[in-house]
Amino acid sequence: MGVVASAPAKVILFGEHFVVYGEPAIVLAMDRRVYVKVENQEDNTLHVRSTNLNLAACFEKNRFRIEQGDPKEARLRFEPVRQVVERIIEEHGASVGLNVEINSTVPVGAGLGSSAAVIAATIVAVSTLLNVKLHKEDVFRLTCEAEKVVHGASSGVDPAIATFGGIILFQMDTGFKPLDLRMDIPLVIGDTGVERSTKAQVEKVKSIMEKYPQIAQLMMNTVREIVLRAMDALKENDLETVGSLMNVNHALLYGVGVSDESLEWLINAARKAGALGAKLTGAGGGGCMIALSNEEKLDRISEAIQNAGGRSFKARKTDEGVRIEQN
Q: What's the half-sphere exposure (Cβ side, CA atoms, 13 Å) at 73?
A: 12
Known catalytic membership, residue 43:
no
**Number of residues that make up the chain:** 327
Q: What is the largest CA-CA distance in the chain?
A: 63
Pick the catalytic residue from 43, 138, 158, 232. Answer: 158
In whole angstroms, give the CA distance from residue 39 to residue 4.
9
Measuring CA to CA, which residue among 86, 84, 85, 64 is closest to residue 75? 64
Residue-by-residue DSSP string for 219-252: HHHHHHHHHHHHHHHHHTT-HHHHHHHHHHHHHH
* Pairing status of strand 175-179 against strand 288-292: unpaired
Q: How far is CA 28 from the centre of its chain?
A: 9
In whole angstroms, give the CA distance from residue 85 to residue 214.
48
Q: What's the half-sphere exposure (Cβ side, CA atoms, 13 Å) at 212?
A: 10
Per-position b or e across 85-117, b if 16+ CB within 10 A of its CB: bebbbeeeeeebbbbbbbbbebbeebbbbbbbb
In whole angstroms, give the CA distance from residue 136 to residue 256.
37
Amino acid at position 161, single letter: I
In whole angstroms, give the CA distance from residue 198 to residue 261.
17
- For 220, residues 6+ apart whose C-beta sits below 8 A from its C-beta are 18, 21, 22, 23
Active site residues: 158
